[in-house]
Structure 1
Amino acid sequence: MSDPVRLLAVPALSDGVEYAYLATVAPSTRLVFTAGACPLGTDGRTVTPGDHVAQARQVMANLEAALTAGGATLADVVKSTVYVASSQRADLVAVWQVVRDTFGDHDPPSTLLGVAVLGYPDQLVEVEAIAAVAAR
């Protein structure tokens, strides 16, 4: 995590969650907003149709590439939103595990949503993020 970002727990809320409840960003910080990272391969096609976990891995790799292009890393993320095209909690949990494993010890506030459909054919997962890095 970069110096301009603080991830905070909230003592009045449950401590049994795998993410910070809020993040603060110093005023001298440059924000990096990503579009939703999708499970697209270099050929522009959705990878591994039907496999939530494999798509989540591709999404996180694509998110890392986008953040790098913006001068940020996963450790700079201050908020993420994870979309899973499923009404099954097990699918959401499986995708969430990939996201958490990829973030490692960094636990930014995040929202996990089950949705009816995503934009690309056969797409099951999408993750968008906001990162904060020291202004240059």
Structure 2
Amino acid sequence: MPLELVHSPALSDRAPYAYAARVSGGSLVFTAGACPLDEQGRIGPVGDYLGQAEHVMRNLVTALAAADALLEDVAKTTVYVATGRREDLLAVWDIVRTAFGDHEPPSTLLAVPLLGYEDQLVEVEAIAVT
């Protein structure tokens, strides 16, 4: 099956993977977990669940756009939050849901003990259909 890994010059190259992948004819798009990395590869805002969730969603939109997809094309998301508090989990979920507007793809929301980058609190991955 032909597969194109998609990289965006608008996202940090610190991550050792493509930000999205396009499968044969562009019908399926799989993103890596969108992280709260700025263009220089720094995590931010440190310690701020809501700020990181907003940053993650902007980066997810950018990764999807690099693969010719929109949030409205997303068929499934997985949302990871490094917390032991349900309040943090639900606050992040509110940011993610707001970004999607009326589009409500299936999602998995998980509290995890640790994410890949130092000070990282939020990550969102998506599968889209174009």
Q: Per the shorter chain, which TM-score range?
A: 0.7 to 0.9
- Quick one: higher RCO (CA 8 Å, sep 6+), 1 or 2? 1
| Larger Cα-atom Rg | 1
| Residue among 46, 50, 75 paired with 2:47 | 50
| Residue among 65, 68, 92 paired with 2:62 | 65
Q: What is aligned with 2:38?
A: 41
Deviation at 1:62, TM superposition (A): 0.1
| Whole-angstrom distance in 2 between the partners of 1:49 and 1:85 | 13
User: Amino acid of the residue matched to residue 65 of structure 2?
Assistant: T
Between the two proteins, what is the percent identity of the paired residues?
61
- Superposition misfits of 4+ residues, deviation over 2 angstroms: none
Query: Is 1:119 aligned to residue 116 of structure 2?
Result: yes
| Whole-angstrom distance in 2 between the partners of 1:130 and 1:87 | 26
Where do 1:12-23 residues align within 5 Å?
none
Deviation at 1:101, TM superposition (A): 0.3
- Measured on the aligned residues, the alpha-carbon RMSD in Å equals 1.1
SS of 2:27's partner is: strand
Q: What is aligned with 1:90?
A: 87
Count of aligned residue pairs for this structure pair: 106
Deviation at 1:119, TM superposition (A): 0.2
Deviation at 1:87, TM superposition (A): 1.0
| Whole-angstrom distance in 2 between the partners of 1:80 and 1:87 | 21
| Whole-angstrom distance in 1 between the partners of 2:122 and 2:85 | 13
| Whole-angstrom distance in 2 between the partners of 1:127 and 1:94 | 14
User: Amino acid of the residue matched to residue 53 of structure 1?
Assistant: L
If the length of structure 1 is used for normalisation, what is the TM-score? Answer: 0.76
SS of 1:71's partner is: coil
User: Amino acid of the residue matched to residue 128 of structure 1?
Assistant: E
Query: Is 1:104 aligned to residue 101 of structure 2?
Result: yes
**Unaligned 5+ residue runs, structure 1?**
1-27
User: Amino acid of the residue matched to residue 106 of structure 1?
Assistant: H
